[in-house]
């Protein structure tokens, strides 16, 4: 199991945990919750797919930040960081989390 924290300057601290089977769980300092699955489509490439549901997120610029998100990401082994971009069809989020 690995936990990644996203807590850059001005950001809300978010912690995402990835279980060995790819299950994702997470929360942040404002009670947002994340639940989903990470899959590696081809181990020959440093790309992963994530599908998760975000809840208790509220709105941003009149668009819901709740719902089903899908995204692609990569792992930076030098920095020990997960990087990904995700969208629920209304908003897009970029995340970078350090282990």
User: CA 50 to CA 73: how far, in whole Å?
Assistant: 8
The tokens for 45 are 């490439």
Q: What is the pLDDT of residue 74?
A: 93
Q: C-alpha distances in angstroms, 53 versus 66, 76, 77, 80?
A: 7, 24, 26, 24
Mean pLDDT for the stretch of residues 10-24? 86
Q: pTM of the prediction?
A: 0.80
Mean pLDDT for the stretch of residues 62-72? 84
Number of domains the chain contains: 1
Q: Which domain holds residue 8?
A: 2-98
Mean pLDDT for the stretch of residues 27-43? 90
């Amino acid at each position: 199991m690995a936990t990644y924290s996203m807590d850059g300057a001005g950001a809300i601290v978010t912690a995402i945990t990835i279980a060995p089977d790819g299950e994702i769980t997470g929360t942040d300092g404002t009670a947002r919750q994340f639940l989903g699955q990470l899959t590696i489509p081809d181990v020959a490439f440093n790309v992963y797919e994530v599908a998760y549901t975000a809840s208790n997120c509220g709105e941003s610029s009149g668009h819901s930040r709740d719902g089903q998100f899908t995204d692609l990401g990569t792992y930076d082994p030098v920095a020990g960081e997960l990087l990904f971009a995700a969208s629920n069809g209304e908003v897009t989020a970029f995340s970078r989390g350090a282990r």
